[in-house]
Structure 1
């Protein structure tokens, strides 16, 4: 799971780790380069926060019965 805006940094960190592992154990790898990341994913939400215009919905005034 990645927080907002961390995907590019995580891809760079993974590249460094893979290069280190490849230099330490070249017999375990069939190539000399990292796998290519075709495109980093865009922003996705499980529960997207409301925008300010969505927060200004109809009035929610409620009168309670006594």
Structure 2
């Protein structure tokens, strides 16, 4: 699929989000990466095989609960 040199990470690799953008639609909240991954603004992903990756955005520092 990817024609870049060096090739972009595949959709099943751990660093799949490092692939180049092929389509970017911030007004709709998604981007299509060169490896076929749909990346959503909430950091969720839809892989080419239909697998869903849940959002994995880190918690904001002010939302982290402190131990009493």
Please give the TM-score of this superposition, normalised by the length of structure 2: 0.20
Structure with larger RCO (C-alpha < 8 A, sep 6+): 1
Structure number with greater Rg is: 1
Q: Which has the higher helix share?
A: 1
